[in-house]
Amino acid sequence: MSAGDFLAMGGYGFYVWGSYIVAVVAIAIEVVAVRAHLNAARRMPGNEELR
């Protein structure tokens, strides 16, 4: 089995690797969004315990 065969996944490589890419992008967006919300909460008055 070559690396090309592995990446092709028996003809389903586009769907398999596409799914991985979509999942990684979604997780990255979620991490960025959570950090932005946490930073916004930290800037609000009365949230000293978040700092």
CA–CA gap between residue 41 and residue 7 (Å, rounded)? 43
- Matching residue, tokens 């592995």: 6
* pLDDT per residue as tens digits for the range 27-48: 999 999 999 999 888 888 877 6
Locate the domains of the chain by residue range.
Answer: 3-50
List, in sequence order, the alpha helices (H) in 1-51.
3-8, 13-43
Is the pLDDT at 50 greater than 80? The verdict is: no
Q: State the number of CA atoms in the 13 A half-sphere of 7 facing the CB.
A: 3
State mean pLDDT over 4-17: 90
Q: How does residue 51 score in pLDDT terms, banded at 50, 70 and 90?
A: low
